[in-house]
Structure 1
Amino acid sequence: MSLVEWIQLPNLGDHRGALVVAEADKNIPFEIKRLYYIFGAQPDLPRGFHAHKELQQVAFCIQGNCKMLMDNGIKKEEVLLNQSNKGLKIPPMVWHEMHDFSQDCILLVLANEHYDEFDYIRNYEDFKMRGTK
């Protein structure tokens, strides 16, 4: 079974340009309580390196591109995010790392909960131990 699950948002644009809509509990599979975006990332400085105990997220590269490594402790998959209306689901208990950011990359992330430091697992060995219980 693949770790990678995509969410395709409809492009409702016309000859004037693109219009992509994300709706909570419709094409986004949860209520959106937080969003954040990463821009100006250095191509050679990876980010992420954590998992969440409960948090659900969907990541969209709305400009440029980057790669994301998804790891459930058993299997690893790397994907390229490069379509503004194609989001990568990041479920709980999946270690993720972002890297190889293009200079113009803007990565938008939608989350189902507010920020909670206690939900983070920032040590890979701790993550792997939790997954084997």
Structure 2
Amino acid sequence: MASVTECQILEFPRIHDPRGTLTPIENSRQVPFDIKRVYYLYDIPGGASRAGHSHKQLQQVLIAVSGSFDVHVDDGRERRVFHLNRPHQGLYVPQMIWREIDNFSSNAVCLALASLLYDEGDYYRKYADFLRAAEEGA
């Protein structure tokens, strides 16, 4: 069973030069899985909350490539909050962790790296369903 203690901030390389900074992210090097899907959230209205779900198998890394936001993680027993605001850091979220994202700054962009292609069957969208599965050790 996953635990919020497995959620951790990953540091990505930064290559600086006078033209700016580049941060490379490669499969199974900077993230603990092969990346199958990439998507990003932007133009989030003030006060909005995103996510509010868990995945049965999918793992993710969430990155604030612009601005900042908070990620609330919950394993059914313990909760933690991570504030993301650096494009060279990402939050690793294993499977079976409930996540909610809020407190978006103006112009925030949340980049998500996912271990699986989109599959609606991989989601717990109701917290009660997630808690039941977490208690059963799904």
Q: TM-score range by the shorter chain?
A: over 0.9
CA distance in 2, matches of 1:23, 1:13: 18
| Aligned mate of 1:24, from 22, 27, 30 | 27
CA distance in 1, matches of 2:16, 2:113: 22
Aligned to 1:107: 110
Aligned-residue RMSD, C-alpha: 1.1
- Report runs of 4+ in structure 1 exceeding 3 Å deviation: none
Aligned to 2:68: 65
Check the 8 A contact 2:44/2:104 in 1, yes or no: yes
Unaligned runs of 5+ in 1: none
Asked if 1:75 corresponds to 2:78, the answer is yes
Deviation at 1:96, TM superposition (A): 0.2
Q: Normalised by the size of structure 1, how large is the TM-score? A: 0.96
Q: Deviations over 1:9-68 (max 9, x none)?
A: 010121221100000011111111100000000120101100000001100000000001
Aligned to 2:16: 13
Check the 8 A contact 2:6/2:94 in 1, yes or no: no
SS in 2 for 1:10: coil
- Number of positions where the alignment pairs a residue of Structure 1 with one of Structure 2: 133
Greater mean alpha carbon deviation, residues 12-21 or residues 63-72: 12-21
- 1:131 counterpart letter in structure 2: A
Identical-residue share of aligned pairs (%): 35
Unaligned runs of 5+ in 2: none
Deviation at 1:79, TM superposition (A): 1.1
Deviation at 1:124, TM superposition (A): 0.3
Deviation at 1:2, TM superposition (A): 2.6
CA distance in 1, matches of 2:8, 2:93: 8
| Aligned mate of 2:52, from 36, 49, 58 | 49
Check the 8 A contact 1:3/1:70 in 2, yes or no: no
SS in 2 for 1:101: coil
